[in-house]
Homo-oligomer: A and B are copies of this chain.
């Protein structure tokens, strides 16, 4: 038998996938297949008002009705869900239900809300019963969840592939998550045509989220470098592994040829198609490997926003879009993690920008590729541009340290001082 002191096992789970222009027209058929010929016919469609205005949820609902389903639409998803918004959505679903299946049409907020509603209507209890410890009580569901079909309309979140729901816990001013294999959608339907209406600013920010998923899961701690786990200790995110690598590498190759193009011309169907494919692939990788420092940092960067209002987002509330928040410290985070896995950092840089092969090896190669992308697609230059300064560093570090689940996937130990250094160096990236 092999030495069992180090981990020898990795796991891989992903939703079934239907991908391509027009795929979202077939959801009625797909849901009937999922539920079986004798299955139920009451569907809760979860979306948000902005996505609903673009007409996609209505078209999906029509397709469901044509296949004999009864559809109830919930379009009050809060963009960046909170414990309160999830509780409201679940309460609404309980009043209108029971349902036999859920369909989520939208960005990560709609899909994550559908995951939480699914959990709460099938297993009861409060949101905080299920939120990761120590913020919540980290209960596992005891009852099976309903089939959930995820239809992303934003290319980037990866939520259609993951077993996690991200939320703001309002009383504690902290972002946290609910994480359990049962939350993962049964089927992801990715239709690039649904993203043609996505504004440039949203494409840019969510593109940086895709990039973060790919590069972070590729540079995450190798699964075999963890201590061996018992069966009951396994977690959805097991670190970089041979399968997550496949997805991450191809996602980076795709991004090198479509991210700038999709931001520059949203009607470029080839670029939209490849962005949707890159988002899907990066989600498949991250959904098993996990992400690390840039995503941990993104929680307090988004959570502590004061008055930054990005272009192309609804301007009712100040916000740092998730993908922007991920990108702002990414260059410095990868400069910090470089020495733990130099080959992977260099290869990531060269997949994202083949011209980087001409540059001498070193910790600056990947950061320079990332900042060039940020500059070219109009991402803020750093933390200063979204309103943070030296005085905020301690609070940002504290917020990132709360994401121990993510920091544990970093390729090297991360101290508070390390994080403070990353935040300080990220005030201006270019």
Min CB distance A62 to B, Å, is 14
Q: State the copy count for this chain.
A: 2
Q: How far is the CA of A71 from the CA of B181 in the complex (A)?
A: 26
Cβ-based interface call for A18 (8 A): yes
Cβ-based interface call for A8 (8 A): yes
Q: How far is the CA of A28 from the CA of B230 in the complex (A)?
A: 12
Check A2–B269 contact: CB distance below 8 A: yes
Tell me the nearest residue of chain B to A187, going by C-beta.
Answer: B13
- Given contacts A144-B36, A246-B246, A247-B246, whether A2 and B16 have CB atoms under 8 Å apart is no
Give the dominant DSSP class at A's interface.
mixed
Stretch at the interface among A19-27, A86-94, A198-206, A408-416: A19-27
Check A9–B17 contact: CB distance below 8 A: no
Kindly list chain B residues whose C-beta atoms are within 8 Å of the C-beta of A19.
Answer: 9-12, 243
Cβ-based interface call for A4 (8 A): yes
Taking Cβ atoms with an 8 Å cutoff, the residues of A that contact B are 1-2, 4, 7-14, 16-23, 25-26, 28-30, 33, 36-38, 142-144, 181, 193, 231-232, 242-243, 246-247, 250, 269, 277, 281
Kindly list chain B residues whose C-beta atoms are within 8 Å of the C-beta of A7.
Answer: 20
Tell me the nearest residue of chain B to A277, going by C-beta.
Answer: B242
Kindly list chain B residues whose C-beta atoms are within 8 Å of the C-beta of A37.
Answer: 142
Between-chain CB contacts (< 8 Å), 27 pairs: A1-B21, A1-B22, A1-B193, A2-B21, A2-B269, A4-B22, A7-B20, A8-B20, A8-B22, A8-B23, A9-B18, A9-B19, A9-B22, A10-B18, A10-B19, A11-B16, A12-B19, A13-B16, A29-B231, A29-B232, A33-B181, A36-B143, A37-B142, A38-B142, A242-B250, A246-B250, A246-B281
Q: How far is the CA of A385 from the CA of B409 in the complex (A)?
A: 54
Min CB distance A98 to B, Å, is 19
Kindly list chain B residues whose C-beta atoms are within 8 Å of the C-beta of A247.
Answer: 246
Q: How far is the CA of A9 from the CA of B27 in the complex (A)?
A: 13
Q: How far is the CA of A10 from the CA of B16 in the complex (A)?
A: 11
Check B9–A21 contact: CB distance below 8 A: yes
Check B30–A231 contact: CB distance below 8 A: yes
Q: How far is the CA of A19 from the CA of B16 in the complex (A)?
A: 19
Q: How far is the CA of A36 from the CA of B181 in the complex (A)?
A: 12
Q: How far is the CA of A31 from the CA of B269 in the complex (A)?
A: 44
